[in-house]
Structure 1
């Protein structure tokens, strides 16, 4: 797969215009900030509350916005035009992911600021958040390719929203239900684990396993989105 920065940038600009005109999708960008303000007013909820808001941001922005942008292309029958254009698979997927990535990172930084979250090792947390963003964008891409309209996209993303936002709350039940232990290997739980270890003074070496697993999840999501995109392109 070849890559053209010019083509990817053109797709980025097009998505920016589409998102700014679609109030239904762009209005969801306010929700993470609402949750951040709400929990900051309650008091210091610690790392768990902070990452509850961050995981909501991943679901509402990285997954939903990415899913909606692709679904809108399909709804307007413009995605097929992109597929038949000289742009490569990498041009299209990275171009359509760039806006979501930038928006997600801005909202995470803004939410962290509102909640007065200052990690002890910013480099480790920044890397974990970036890798996690790639994973959720990959999930959003796959869900977008599965849907046909923006309304359908808004419904289908409810599943990952509840799963990735609220599944960490089930971990205290691990002693009663052994299968819940599987949740510890999910990217949202791994991210929270990294955050707790960083607060205890961990560096890159101490969280190497968790970062490796997060990277594996991100690569799996990327490969899955490429495979699904190529299949849709063939169809």
Structure 2
């Protein structure tokens, strides 16, 4: 399979233009940063204290779900309504080229949001490098899942119906896992929950094993989500 940097670059430039024209998406991208400021303010108030690391994990997960997954699904479903997605599928653009060019803008924005959240909450700068690397792995997964949803839905209205339960699942199941064994069993196989476990070790300055189950689960989600995207992309292309 040929991989063309020129085609990826063309898609990337197109995404930048589309993003700057979509104010709703722009404001959605700012929501995690807004919540970071709010939680930072509440944490400084008497009786409203929350550990900075816990706040970071909460807002970071919101960023992964809202920006990484939901917005990506909205952008691709928007392409379907404009019929530009069909044109790309019928052209020589491969699934990997499409995924790379289409998601690169949201990948950068989601990573930058994670960095801003970290800085706003004022965590130890010594852990920032590891935090960025580990969170980026899950960002890739969530964006790819959003891309899969965008390919599968018929229009933008259907996107919300499909993406909402999935997004809430990633966000809420780890929280419910604290009081429910079934939810905890499911959470143990979610990428964002395993990311939280690893980051807690990083913040506590414990050693992180690169062969641990937590990191294996995260890598598995990356491989699995990309494989599913390639399959769905090709299937939708053939259906056209």
TM-score (norm 1): 0.92
Q: 2:74 — aligned with what?
A: 68
CA contact (8 A) 1:48 1:192 kept: no
Q: 2:225 — aligned with what?
A: 221
CA contact (8 A) 1:124 1:204 kept: no
Alignment pair present for 1:115 and 2:121? yes
Deviation for aligned residue 1:122? 3.6
Alignment pair present for 1:45 and 2:31? no
Gaps of 5+ in 2: 44-48
Deviation for aligned residue 1:140? 0.3
Q: Matched residues in 2 for 1:128 and 1:110: separation?
A: 16
Alignment pair present for 1:10 and 2:15? no
Q: 185, 195, 201: which one pairs with 2:205? A: 201
Alignment pair present for 1:97 and 2:103? yes
Q: 2:46 — aligned with what?
A: none
Q: Deviations over 1:108-134 (max 9, x none)?
A: 111111111336544432221111011
Runs of 4+ in 1 over 4 A off after TM superposition: none
Determine helix, strand or coil for the equivalent of 1:157: helix
Determine helix, strand or coil for the equivalent of 2:177: helix
Gaps of 5+ in 1: none
Q: 1:21 — aligned with what?
A: 21
Between 145-154 and 101-110, the greater mean CA deviation after superposition? 145-154
Q: 2:216 — aligned with what?
A: 212
TM-score (norm 2): 0.90
Between 15-24 and 133-142, the greater mean CA deviation after superposition? 15-24
Q: Deviations over 1:173-231 (max 9, x none)?
A: 14xx4453231221111011011111222334277332221011111111111111111
CA contact (8 A) 1:2 1:90 kept: no
CA contact (8 A) 1:59 1:136 kept: yes
- Taking the TM superposition and a 5 Å limit, the aligned residue runs for 1:80-95 are 80-95=86-101
Cα pair distance change 1:151/1:117, threshold 3 Å:
farther
Q: Matched residues in 2 for 1:163 and 1:138: separation?
A: 16
Q: Deviations over 1:153-174 (max 9, x none)?
A: 2342211221112222112214
Q: Matched residues in 2 for 1:179 and 1:32: separation?
A: 25
Alignment pair present for 1:180 and 2:178? no
